[in-house]
Each structure stands twice: as structure tokens, then as C-alpha cells.
Structure 1
Amino acid sequence: PWRQISWRDNKKQGNSLQPSEELKYVKNFQPQNDDVKYIRILLCGPVGAGKSSFINSVSNVLRGRMHFFLSKLYYNSVSQYETHKIQKDGKGNYYPFVFNDIMGLEDGTGRGVSAHDIKLALMGRVKEGHKFNPESPLSPDDPGYNSSPSLDDRVHVLVCVYSANVPEMRSSTLQKMKKIREAASNLGIPQMAVLTKVDQVCGETEKDLRNVYQSKHLKKKMADFSSSLGIPMNCILPVKNYSHEIKEDSDVDTLILSVLKLMINFGEDYINKLESNKAGC
């Protein structure tokens, strides 16, 4: 293997399934900063990359059962800024991290969200429920503009999502993603990338998902993606989202949890950095 990972083997104690260390870490996580209720993770990528499926897969892993929801449909090139929370129990409690999934990389198709609006979302200046329109970028006069964003409103981690099964990244998509990454870098927001559909990359990963870190073809895909986008290899992780499965798969869970743990840690580090800088002033 060219990268080490601890696969989640199903270990039972009595009639109960013992959770992995990664699952226990995520389930017990709480932000250190009392002013932050949720770590906000912004998923950015083209339609079909698997952003909504990833959120659904995270929900499946944490809730311990299959949980299906329909992906958003986009009408007249308009998409809505929506926060996805994951229910922790039946008492109305949620996990302390949320996802924002916006359709933002459809250059040349007349669809998606402008880079300008995505930059505003990074700064927390987009209100929940705002409907994006590529022909009418958000301005301070719009009701959907948040003029006084809190630390909770800001994005704490930017995640570029792309399909490993796509032959190559379109130059227009790459340029827009680079602009968004540059905006995030200027704000100090940590960034990582998720390559989805890794089971479709080669016959070995399709046969056994545990071959993911033995696949030379996938390693090259990740290296090319790293070179094109400027994200270090150790910040690029492969996943397989739940798609055709109707019951849990421990190998799928392992990859999902490894990504989720890194997202949480990156977000926590960024929040602590902001608070440290604030205290220094």
C-alpha cells in the first residue's frame, strides 16, 4: 500500500457492533470554542461529482442505517444556499458539523453559482435559503446578504469534490476552482479535496475497495489532481459514496470516516487560529 489506513472490521461484543476509533472520535467530537455551534464545511464541485451523495453517505455511517434523501433539483439555473445537518438522536440533537453543498462549477453551461457568490459564502455573507443566480450576483442590497456574519456563519473548511472516474478536468472548471481556492487561501481557510467513485477507477478497486491504496492508477489520478489544483497529496482523499447499496458496508464506512475526521480537524484548527489572532489583537 502507498498509504496506510486502518480498515473498519466488524467486531461484535455480544449482540452489539463495536464502533471503530474513528467513529467514536466523530461521535464524541465537540468544538472547543463555545461561540461555535457547528463546524461549517463547504462542498464545491461540478454536478455529478457526488457532493450530495457524500452528505448522504456521512449520514448513513453516523446513524448506523441507510438513510436516503433526494438530491436537489435546479430550475432555471437557480440553486439555493442550504445547510445540511445530520441528526444525532431522536431528541432533536445534531452533530456539531454541517455541510453546505452549492452547485458552483458549471462554467459555460449557463448553470451554477458565480465565483463571486462562492467567495461571499466563504466569508459567511450568504444567508440561509438565498437563491443564487449566475446572472445576478449577490450584493449588499439583497435580502440574502448577511452584513454581520458570526464565526458560526463562516466556512471553516473548503472541500473540492471531483469524480475520479472523469478522464480529465475541464479547463474552465479548473480555473474556477482555482479562483475559489485562492479566495479561501486569502481568508486562511483550510482546503482539501475528495475524489469520489474510486470503485470505478480500475478493476482492482471495483473488485475490492481495500485495494484503493494499492491502485497505481488511482495514485496517478490523485497526483495529477494535486498538480492541477495545487492541493497537497496528503489533503486529497478517495471515497466511495453509498449508491446502489441497501445495507451498510464497513469498507465504505472506513473511507468516509477518514475523510470526515480530517474535515473536522481542519475546521477546528481554523477556528482556533481565528480566536488566537483575535486575542492577539
Structure 2
Amino acid sequence: MLSYTDSVMGSAQSKPEFITVLGDKQVGIGKEISLSCETNTEGLKVTWEKDGEKLICVQDKHIMKQDGTKCSLKILNADERDEGNYTIKLKNKLGTDSCSAMVLVELKEWRTVQWKQNAMVDSLKEFKMDNDQVRELNFLLFGPVGAGKSSVINTIKAVFEGRYCVICPVAAQSTKSNTKTYEKYSIRREGVIPLVFYDTMGVEKQESAGVRTDDIINALKGHITEDYAFNPILQILEGNPQYRMNPSLCDRIHCLVNVVRADKIALMDEEYINKMKKVREAARTMGILQVVFMTDVDLACPLIKDSLRYIYRSRKIKENMQKCSNLLGVPVNCIFPVKNYHEETDLNEDTNCLMLDALKRIIPSAQEYVVKCSTNTT
């Protein structure tokens, strides 16, 4: 039988349990990461893991300590490779227990955003076309079902019009496309701003489902008129009342906006990628500006879930931008992480600023394309 002294002094082991658990950490580059917890008993076998693999202690980098019932891990001079999920596992002959914590490492900011909504709105609402042939810039949104194409348009309209309103119907994730026709949306802010966004049916995996790549290419060329009903089986052909035979520069698309979800990039099926690449190749042949709006960034990285201002300090976002570039062949500097309104009913300045920043960066290049095309036709 255990003596009273043995029980009080903790020399008798119990099944391992945590009295305190690891806490999530968020640190900057070069800082120290400190993880600690307390157990209910001594003499435990303790192991640490990072992202499911045993953590090997590196001299002058990791300091693991076990002092009675207290366990700790220090990681010195943090860098982006230290980000991940850390788990401590306890074991003795009576059982096991474990707990985990997420460590996020803020990178040095690699792209800046002007977090001043009014200044950016004022700048963009003064935008004027400097071409007599073309009165407005045409942007076409293209991407998988549920990627957020329609939500991008709703968000842009909300930013400029000062209120959120579902103008463009939105599809639920993992469903058929809610957009059936070729829809045109103009932007208003104390008058009409010369920016037009075209919404399209979503891309689906099956060859006979979703928007046809041939139809998107025809839309890029200006052959398709507004309100055309997409047919997943048959592409639009000459002779169709909504096929424009001789499109002008005003009718053509001036910027192709590929829309993908930041939290689903690694899971994109090859069928989606191949269809998007076919459209991208056609756009490149025509010299059309191509960009990517990477949506749902708040779902892709915990670091920015509470504050979008960490967007260009996030390792996860940076990695996903690079993956997106590799998959679609679009340069990283043409990829813009954004957040759409989907659950919120009130507007958020940081959400607005992120979208405005993307528009501010792509509008000059789209206008340059118009100028180039105008010069070539004169």
C-alpha cells in the first residue's frame, strides 16, 4: 500500500493527463517560440512531434526540458520552416495522452497594401478611359463552381456602393453552377465607373457539364452577347442570334480574372486545371491580361482569420500563391489573395481594402492592353 508521503510527493505514477495544455503561438521571424504544459505525474516518457513526425532536437535551435511534471519546448530564432502543428505525447505503463498547438510564424511583409479605403475608392472612382474607342474596361471572371466568381462581383459592388446586396446569385460550394447565363455587371459610385464585370457559368470536372471552354474563348473574343444561356453540351456557333460576328475592341474582354479558392488549390482536380489552362493559352495568344483572384484566404490560414492585415506575412498564403502559379502558369505578381463577403451583412474596411488593392494593380495593365490594341488597329 502507498504511504501518505509517497502519494503527496508524487513518486507513485498515475495514468498521464494534462493539468495545463500547450497554447497556440504566433511569432515573428527571429523570435523565440516557447511551448509548455504541466502533467499530473512524473517519470513520463515524453516525445515531441511536428506535423505528425518526430521532432529531432537540433543543437542551438531546440531546447526540450522535462522538470518534474513540467514539460517545455523552446525553438530559437524562428523562421518560416518552424511553422506547423506541434504535439507532445506522454507515456507510461498506465497509459498515454497528448495535446497539440499551432505555431504560426509571421514572415517579413513581401507585398504592401494601403489600408485606407477612402483614399483608394477616391482614386478609382476618378478613373477615366483615355481611349475614344473604348468607354469601359471589360473583366471576365472564370473558374470552378463554388470558387467565388459571383461573390467577387458582389464584393466589388459592395465596396463601391457602400452596402452589401446580393446582386449576383451565388452558388453553394460543391454544387452545380448557379450562373446559367452570360451576365454583365456595371459599377456605380456617384455615377458610373468605367469597369464592367462579366460572370460566367462555373467550370466542372465532367466534359459535358459546366461552362464549355470554347464558349469562354468566344467570350474573350467578344463574340458572345449579354444574357447568352450557356449550354454545357453545345458551344455557341455562327448563326446563333447571340453570336456577334464582328466584335469591336469595346466588345472584347480586356482582362481575364481566374478565380480559385485559396483553401482548395492543392485539391484542384486535373480536369479543372486542364480546362483553365486551355482558356489561359487562348488568352495569352490574344495578348489579354490574365490574373488570379485567390478567394477564401481566411479559411486557408489561421494567421489571417482574425486580421487580413497579416495577408502578406502568411507562409501558407505565400505557398498557395506559388502553387497556384505552378498549376495555372500565372506569375505570382499577377495573383491576388482576396476575401469575399459571404456570411457577413456589414462591410469591413480591411476586406474592402484588399479587393481595392487588387483592382488598383490590375486596372492599369488592362487599360494598357486596350491602348496597345487600339494602336495596332490604326
Normalising by structure 2, we get a TM-score of 0.67
Could you tell me how far 1:53 is from its partner in structure 2? 0.7
Aligned AA for 1:176? K
Residue 177 of structure 1 corresponds to 276
Partner of 1:232: 331
Aligned residue number for residue 67 of structure 1: 165
- 1:30-59 CA-to-partner distances (Å, cap 9, x unmatched) read 111122121000000011111111111111
Quote how far apart the aligned CAs of 1:9 are.
4.3
1:1-281 aligned within 5 A: 1-9=108-116, 19-20=118-119, 22-69=120-167, 71=169, 79-89=180-190, 93-108=191-206, 110-166=208-264, 167-279=266-378
Larger Cα-atom Rg: 2
What secondary structure does 2:142 align onto?
Answer: strand
Indicate conservation of the 8 Å contact 1:78/1:111, yes or no: no
Distance 1:9 1:76 in 2: 35
Q: CA deviation at 1:209?
A: 1.2
Distance in 2 between residues matched to 1:76 and 1:100, nearest whole Å: 15
Which has a greater percent of helix? 1
Q: Report if aligned partners of 2:169, 2:178 keep a CA contact under 8 Å in 1.
A: no
Decide whether the 8 Å contact of 1:77 with 1:134 is kept in 2: no
Q: Is the 8 A contact 2:145 2:177 kept in 1?
A: no
Q: Which has the higher contact order (CA 8 A, sep 6+)?
A: 1
Contact 2:111–2:312, Cα closer than 8 Å, also in 1: yes
Q: Using the TM superposition, give the Cα deviation of residue 76 of structure 1 relative to its aligned residue in structure 2, in angstroms.
A: 10
Separation of aligned partners in 2, 1:111 and 1:78: 13
- Aligned partner letter, 2:316: H
TM-superposed deviation, 1:124 = 0.1
Distance 2:160 2:177 in 1: 34
Q: Distance in 1 between matches of 2:298 and 2:193?
A: 28
Name the SS for the 1:223 alignment partner: helix
Amino acid at match of 2:269: R
Q: 1:69-89, CA deviations, whole angstroms, 9 ceiling, x for partnerless residues?
A: 351679999821111112233
Classify 1:213/1:120 alpha carbon distance in 2 versus 1 (closer, same or farther; 3 Å).
Answer: same
Alpha carbons 1:104, 1:115 under 8 Å: kept: no
Q: Which residue of 1 aligns with 2:27?
A: none
Q: 1:209-231 deviations in whole A, cap 9, x for unaligned? A: 11111110111111011011111
Query: For 2:377, what is the secondary structure of its paired residue?
Result: helix
Specify whether residues 66 and 143 from structure 1 end up closer, same or farther in structure 2 by C-alpha distance, changes over 3 A only.
same
In structure 1, distance between residues paired with 2:216 and 2:256: 11
Q: How many pairs align?
A: 267
Shift of 1:161: 0.3
- The answer to whether the Cα contact below 8 Å between 1:41 and 1:263 also exists between their aligned partners in 2 is no
- Aligned partner letter, 2:112: I
Q: Higher mean Cα deviation, 241-250 or 72-81?
A: 72-81
1:15 — aligned with what?
A: none
Amino acid at match of 2:122: K
| Unaligned 5+ runs, structure 2 | 1-107
* Distance in 1, Cα, partners of 2:168 & 2:196: 18
The 3 A distance-change label for structure 1 pair 139 and 77 is farther
Distance 1:211 1:133, change over 3 A: same
In structure 1, the partner of 2:26 is none
Structure 2 vs 1, CA of residues 194 and 75 (structure 1 numbering), >3 Å: closer, same or farther?
closer
SS in 2 for 1:259: helix
Q: Which has the higher strand share?
A: 2
Structure 2 partner of 1:13:
none
Greater shift after overlay, 80-89 or 116-125?
80-89
Distance 1:8 1:228 in 2: 30
Give the alignment's Cα RMSD to 1 decimal: 2.0
Instruction: Name structure 1 gaps, 5 residues minimum.
Output: 11-18
Question: Partners in 2 of 1:142 and 1:151 — Cα distance?
Answer: 21
Whole-Å Cα distance in 2 between the matches of residues 263 and 199 of structure 1?
22
